[in-house]
Structure 1
Amino acid sequence: MDDRQLAEELRLIIGGLVRTVRAADTMSPGESAVLGYLDRGGPLTTAEIAQQRGVTHQSAAKTVKDLLARNFVRAEAHPGDGRKFLLHPTQAGRDRLAEERRRRADWLGAAINTVLDADERRTLEAALPLLSRLSAHLHGT
């Protein structure tokens, strides 16, 4: 298999895995993505969230509005620009995100234990640093 075929197979398989895992989510993809960005990267504006997610400002604003209504995020005046707000996850938002992450990990972990034998699990574990390096390279870090 040449590099292009390997890349295409990897893209298809990882994409399918991600879609399958997300299908088990109980939160909308937008809500979990926004909470994830805020949890990992700290406070962001709605415009920054839209840029990171690759969606329109209106789409990000709707998701933020829903998260505010559910008390999963809070808005604070931007210290450098009074027209903007910085969004922070609330404890309820962090708890909800942690619950969603646990659910995903439990579901995927059960599948790993059902489908893969011990040697295959070790192979999968050994591949994680490689996938991490690829991801970091593609993200420019």
Structure 2
Amino acid sequence: MDDTQLAEELRLAIGRLVRTVRAADTMPAGEAAVLGYLDRGGPLTTADVAQQWGVSHQSAARAVKDLQAQGLVRAEAHPSDGRKVLLSLTRAGRDRLAEERRRRTGSLGTAISEALAPDEQKALAKVLPLLARLDAHLRSG
């Protein structure tokens, strides 16, 4: 298998796996994504969220508004620009995100233990650093 074929097979396999794991989610994918961005990089402006998510400002603002209405995100005045607000997770937002992550991890963990033999689980563990290097290379790129 050449590099192009390997890349295509990897893209397809990871894409299917991510979509399958996300099927366990109980909240819309966009809302979960916003919570994740705020958890990893917050506080952020709505424009920052839109840029990281790769969507329009309006789409990000809609998701943020829904999250605020649920008490999962709070907005505070930006310290240096009065026209902007900074978004942060509330305690309820952190708890909800942790719950979604536990659900995803549990689903995937069960699949690993049920579908893979011990030697396959070890092989999978050896692949993780390679995937991390590919991600880092693509991000720097």
Q: Same fold (TM over 0.5)?
A: yes
Take 1:25 and 1:138, find their aligned partners in 2: how far apart are those partners?
27
Deviation at 1:139, TM superposition (A): 1.1
- The answer for the alignment partner of 1:17 in structure 2 is 17
Does 1:74 find its partner at 2:74? Answer: yes
Matched AA of 1:74: R
Matched AA of 2:53: R
CA deviations 1:72-127 (Å, max 9, x no partner) are 01001011110110000001000000000000000110011110000000000010
Matched AA of 2:135: S
Matched AA of 1:83: R
Take 2:99 and 2:17, find their aligned partners in 1: how far apart are those partners?
20
Take 1:17 and 1:129, find their aligned partners in 2: how far apart are those partners?
18
List gaps (5 residues or longer) in structure 2.
none
Matches within 5 A, 1:103-114: 103-114=103-114
CA deviations 1:22-75 (Å, max 9, x no partner) are 122101111110000110112100011011111111110000000000110100
Take 1:68 and 1:139, find their aligned partners in 2: how far apart are those partners?
30
Take 2:42 and 2:137, find their aligned partners in 1: how far apart are those partners?
22
Does 1:57 find its partner at 2:57? Answer: yes
Identity among equivalent positions (%) equals 71
Take 1:29 and 1:139, find their aligned partners in 2: how far apart are those partners?
22
Does 1:129 find its partner at 2:129? Answer: yes
Deviation at 1:140, TM superposition (A): 1.2
- The answer for the alignment partner of 1:29 in structure 2 is 29
Matched AA of 1:99: E
What secondary structure is seen at the aligned counterpart in 1 of 2:83? coil
- RMSD of the alignment, in Å? 0.9
Normalising by structure 2, report the TM-score: 0.98
What secondary structure is seen at the aligned counterpart in 1 of 2:81? coil
Aligned residue-pair number: 141
- The answer for the alignment partner of 2:48 in structure 1 is 48
